[in-house]
Amino acid sequence: MHKTIWAALAVSMGLAGAACAQPAPTGPQPKNDYTKDASWLCRPGRQDACAQDQTATIVAADGATKVETFKADPKAPIDCFYVYPTVSTDKGGNSDMAIDPAETIVAEQQFARFGQACRTFAPMYRQVTLAALRQVMMGRASPGDENLAYGDVLAAWKDYLARDNGGRGVVLIGHSQGSRVLLRLLAEEIDGKPVQKQLVSALIIGMNTPIDPAADAYGGIKMCRQPGQTGCIVSYVSFRDSSPPEGTAFFGKAEGAKRAACVNPAALAGGDAPLHSYFSDRTIAGAPRKTPWVKGKDLTTTFVSTPGLVSAECKSNGPYDYLAIKVHGDAADPRVDDIPGDLMVLGSPLKAWGLHLVDVNLAMGDLVALVEAQGKNWK
C-alpha cells in the first residue's frame, strides 16, 4: 500500500508518533504481580476505568430524546474477566504496565457497562502494541511478543481464580487481540478442565473463532444458540451488509475445514434482529467523534443509543462468515441516517476491516442483557 495511505491509517488508528517500534524483549521477562492493585485496569469496588459514567441519550427515529441513567450492581451474581484489544500507544513492540488513556477509554467503551450484570475484572497486560501492528500491516516482522502478552493474562487469570473467584460463575470478554488471547486461554486452561463448569459464557468479539461446523463448537465448547444456554461462546466479526468480507478481508475466515463462528447476540438461534447499540462520542483510539445524531440538538452524554436504526444477521460469503449489519436510515426523519465505525483512510473506508472498530458497541445492549440472563440461569 502507498506510504501516504499508511500515514493516514497511522493517524486514524492512533499510531501517529509510534512509527518506529522497538524490538521485542529478549530473554526471560519479569513476571507481573497480580496481587497488586496497580496490575489491574479494573477491579470491583474501585474508582477505576470501569467506574466511568455510562449515562446515554436514547434518540428515537422521530427525534425525541431521553437520558438513560446507569448503575452498576456491586452484588451481581457472577464475574466478568475482560481482555482489551490492541490499543496501546507505547512505542515498544509490547506495552508497559502503566495505565494510559488508551486503556481507560477502551474499558469505558467496551466493558464498564457490563458492571450492571457482573463484577468487573480487567488485567493490564503487556500487549502487542499499535506500533507493532503497523509494522505487520506494512509487511514487516512484528516486533511484539505474543507469548509475553498471553503469559500476563494467564497469570492474571490464575490470580483471579485464587483470590477472587470463590466458585462464582465467570464470563470471559475480549475484543480483537484480547479475543485471540482468550481463545488460547479457553483451549489451554478451560476446555476439559475442572474450571470449565464455572464458565458462564465467553464473548469472543472481533476475532475469527475457528469451529467445526458439524459440532458447532470450539474444541469442546459449544456456541450459544438458544436463550438460557450457558457454558457457551458468542463470537462474531461485523461488516456492513452492503460491503461483505471478500478477497483480503482481515476477519471472518478460518483455516482448513473450519469456519469462523458467527453468533448474533440479538438472535442466538439465527435470523435478522434489531441491535441494541451504544455508540460513543469518541473513537476506540480516543479521537473525538462529532456525529450529528439528531437535527437541532446537541447531545451531552458520552453514549448514544438509537433504537431501530441498526439490525444484524449472520451471513456467509464464500469462505467468510460474519455478522451483516444493516442501517435503516430514513432521510425523512430528523435522526442520523448512518453509524460510525468504518476505518477511514483518505476519506474512504478500508473495507477489509469491516466495522471492527465498533464490533462491541454495535451489540453492547444485547451482550449485557445476555450476560445478565445467563447470570440468573447459571448454577
pLDDT tens sequence across 281-297: 988 878 888 889 999 99
* Residues in CB range of 379: below 8 A, 6 or more apart: none
Q: What average pLDDT score do residues 169-185 get?
A: 98
What CA dihedral angle connects 376, 262, 225 and 339, to 10 degrees?
60
Q: In whole angstroms, give the CA distance from residue 14 to residue 326.
A: 27
How much is the pLDDT for 22?
60
How much is the pLDDT for 7?
39
| Percentage of the residues of the chain whose pLDDT score is greater than 70 | 93
Q: Which residue has the cell 477489509?
A: 352
Q: In whole angstroms, give the CA distance from residue 198 to residue 200.
A: 6
Residue 216: half-sphere exposure toward Cβ, Cα within 13 Å? 12
Q: Name the grid cell of 55.
A: 449515562
Q: What average pLDDT score do residues 103-131 get?
A: 97
* pLDDT (tens digit per residue) in 134-167: 888 788 888 899 999 999 999 999 999 999 999 9
DSSP, collapsed to helix, strand or coil, labels residue 295 as coil
Contact 123, 39 (CB under 8 A): yes
The candidate with the shortest Cα–Cα distance to 118, out of 160, 78, 157, is 78
Q: What average pLDDT score do residues 344-351 get?
A: 86
| Percentage of the residues of the chain whose pLDDT score is greater than 90 | 82
Q: Which pLDDT band, with edges at 50, 70 and 90, does 26 fall under?
A: low
Q: Which pLDDT band, with edges at 50, 70 and 90, does 224 fall under?
A: very high
Q: In whole angstroms, give the CA distance from residue 172 to residue 237.
A: 17
How much is the pLDDT for 11?
40
pLDDT at residue 171 tops 80: yes
Complete DSSP assignment for 132-161: HHHHHHTTPPP---HHHHHHHHHHHHHHHI
pLDDT at residue 14 tops 50: no
The candidate with the shortest Cα–Cα distance to 375, out of 42, 154, 73, is 73
Average model confidence (pLDDT) across the chain: 92
Q: In whole angstroms, give the CA distance from residue 159 to residue 20.
A: 34
* pLDDT (tens digit per residue) in 70-101: 999 999 999 999 999 999 999 999 999 999 99
Segment of 25-34, 281-290, 363-372 carrying the highest mean pLDDT:
363-372
Taking only Cα atoms into account, the Rg of the chain, rounded to an integer number of angstroms, comes to 20
DSSP 24: P
How much is the pLDDT for 9?
42
Judge residue 297's burial from the number of C-beta atoms within 10 Å of its C-beta, 0-12 exposed, 13-18 middle, 19 or more buried.
middle
pLDDT at residue 356 tops 80: yes
User: Helix, strand, coil proportions of the chain in percent (round to 5)?
Assistant: 25, 20, 50
Contact 123, 153 (CB under 8 A): yes
How much is the pLDDT for 141?
87
Helix (H) or strand (E) holding 183, with range, is: helix 177-185
- In sequence order, the β-bridge partners of residue 22 are none
Contact 110, 84 (CB under 8 A): yes
- Identify which has the larger pLDDT, 371 or 345: 371
The candidate with the shortest Cα–Cα distance to 277, out of 174, 362, 369, 341, is 362
Q: Name the grid cell of 349.
A: 473506508
Query: Looking at the chain, which runs of residues are DSSP E strands?
Result: 40-42, 56-59, 65-68, 79-83, 119-123, 170-175, 199-205, 210-211, 217-218, 221-222, 232-236, 238-240, 259-260, 273-274, 279-280, 303-305, 310-317, 320-327, 344-345, 348-349
Q: Which pLDDT band, with edges at 50, 70 and 90, does 51 fall under?
A: very high
Q: Which pLDDT band, with edges at 50, 70 and 90, does 21 fall under?
A: low
Largest CA distance in the chain: 62
* Burial 307-325, CB ≥16 within 10 A → b, else e: eebbbbbbbeeeebbbbbb
